[in-house]
Amino acid sequence: MKIKAPRGTKDILPEEARRWQYAEARFRDVCHRYGYGEIRVPTFESTDLFERGVGDSTDIVRKEMYTFEDKGGRSMTLRPEGTAGVVRAYVEQGMNSLPSPVRLFYDLNMFRYEKMQKGRYREFAQFGCEIFGSDSALADAEILSLLDTFFTSVGLRERRLELGSIGCPACRPRFLEALRAYYEPKLDRVCEDCRDRFEKNPLRMLDCKQPQCQEDAERAPSQIDFLCDECEAHFALVRQALDTLGIDYHINPRMVRGLDYYTRTVFEFVSTHVGSQGALCGGGRYDGLVEELGGGQVPAIGFAMGVERLLLEMEAQHVQPDLTFDPDLFIVSFPDTTVAALHLRQNLIRDGFIVETDVMDRSFRAQMKAADRANARYLLVLGADELKKSKATLRRMDTGEETELQLSDLSQTLRSE
């Protein structure tokens, strides 16, 4: 029986891997220009971290975690998201003693046991950024500016920023009260999960995927109407900064994020391209999480973007970066010159060129065909005679133009083209 890749995972073959590398290079470049340094955290962490960090009433923790007992009997979980691990590292590595703000980015794979559909996988990658130590709306604006710059740099035009604020521990109780009052008379028709959510965390009812519950959620009170003066002022400053930066946004008064740690600003970038589904990226402020994980009062904000979704979206919007790695030169050899061809190729590669040669003992004709297929810019036939004289003919494949040269001049000639 053939073994298949697990459901919800995928193989990334070289052609697609180049598109990944392109997006990764762009993301890293933008992060570096905004002053973010890379952090790599473990693939698995103590299960407690996610239960406390992400929240034990969220779908992620209740239904989607890959949790296992290790051989020492400890409960471990493959990371379903990056923020909890980054905050754990921030606290554990004493980064709160560094000058603020601390700016970190990551490019890591995540694991969630979810139903497979387009753009939804069980192993997927996220690009993410987190900025620690600033409660100013300027940090929110910086994060959104970085994202906007990134999307522009990869050419993704059809996008919309949805922005909301979900208040803070001071204004949330009033909102929760209103939410409970709204849902109380509807409890007999909401789903079983929602009845449970009503007890544990009614905010999560707003996120239910059941059609009837979604309908109720659309008419539920909105957090934005219950903001305290400080949260209201903070939200106004974020919007003001975005206006000045020229970043368009739509206020979404009912934005619900699937994680419990958020305070104040929440946002998502969604695609406006027809047929696209799901958020490209999501994030927000989490001013209480560092403290929750034992690190003192450190405000923070960040986002994460689904890389698979980003790439699907780039394809849908016909963004076609130049990703070719066509050879500069193809060296055709004969049985008595194959190793010499390999040597010449090694030297040229070390000089910075992309060079291909035969490693399958193919016939002359088969090698010529391979050179054509490889779309090589130049062709050089290396026979025993050429080798003896250290001279050969270089042919430009598109024009057929031929130049005789010393093999020692090859690098220089290729470079001058």
Q: In the complex, which residues of this chain contact ligand HAM (CB under 6 A)?
A: 81-83, 112, 114, 119-121, 124, 126, 128, 130, 258-259, 279-284, 286, 302-306, 308-309
What helix, strand, coil percent values describe the chain, rounded to 5? 40, 20, 35
Please state the closest distance from residue 66 (CB atom) to ligand HAM, in A: 12
Please state the closest distance from residue 107 (CB atom) to ligand HAM, in A: 12
Please state the closest distance from residue 60 (CB atom) to ligand HAM, in A: 7
Q: Kind and range of the H or E element at 50? A: helix 47-53
Amino acid identity for residue 49 in this structure: L
> 78 or 371, CB closer to ligand HAM?
78
Q: How far is CA 43 from the centre of its chain?
A: 15
Please state the closest distance from residue 213 (CB atom) to ligand HAM, in A: 19
> 123 or 230, CB closer to ligand HAM?
123
> 284 or 299, CB closer to ligand HAM?
284
Q: Are strands 329-333 and 355-357 parallel, antiparallel or unpaired?
A: parallel
Tell me if 59 sits within 8 A of 208, measured CB to CB. Answer: no
> 307 or 329, CB closer to ligand HAM?
307
Please state the closest distance from residue 108 (CB atom) to ligand HAM, in A: 11
> 309 or 345, CB closer to ligand HAM?
309
Tell me if 284 sits within 8 A of 267, measured CB to CB. Answer: yes
> 59 or 358, CB closer to ligand HAM?
59
Stated length of the chain: 417
Residue nearest to ligand HAM (CB): 306
Please state the closest distance from residue 112 (CB atom) to ligand HAM, in A: 5
Tell me if 307 sits within 8 A of 127, measured CB to CB. Answer: yes
> 83 or 357, CB closer to ligand HAM?
83
Cα dihedral 213, 219, 221, 224 sign: positive
> What is the crossing angle of helices 137-153 and 229-245, to 10°?
30
Residue reference for tokens 């965390």: 201
State how far the alpha carbon of 268 is from the alpha carbons of 114, 164, 279, 350, in Å: 20, 9, 6, 45
> 9 or 411, CB closer to ligand HAM?
9
CB contact set of 95 (below 8 Å; sequence gap of 6+): 89, 102, 132
Amino acid identity for residue 397 in this structure: M
- Can you list the positions of beta strands (E) in 202-314? 250-251, 263-271, 279-285, 300-306
> 55 or 202, CB closer to ligand HAM?
55
> 86 or 241, CB closer to ligand HAM?
86
> 120 or 186, CB closer to ligand HAM?
120
Residue 147, number of CB atoms within 10 A of its CB: 23
Cα dihedral 161, 162, 168, 171 sign: positive
Please state the closest distance from residue 2 (CB atom) to ligand HAM, in A: 25
Please state the closest distance from residue 284 (CB atom) to ligand HAM, in A: 6
Residues 209-243: b if buried by 16+ CB within 10 A, e if exposed: eeeebeebbeebbbbbebbeeebeebbeebbebbe
Please state the closest distance from residue 98 (CB atom) to ligand HAM, in A: 19
Tell me if 36 sits within 8 A of 44, measured CB to CB. Answer: no
Please state the closest distance from residue 298 (CB atom) to ligand HAM, in A: 14
Please state the closest distance from residue 39 (CB atom) to ligand HAM, in A: 12
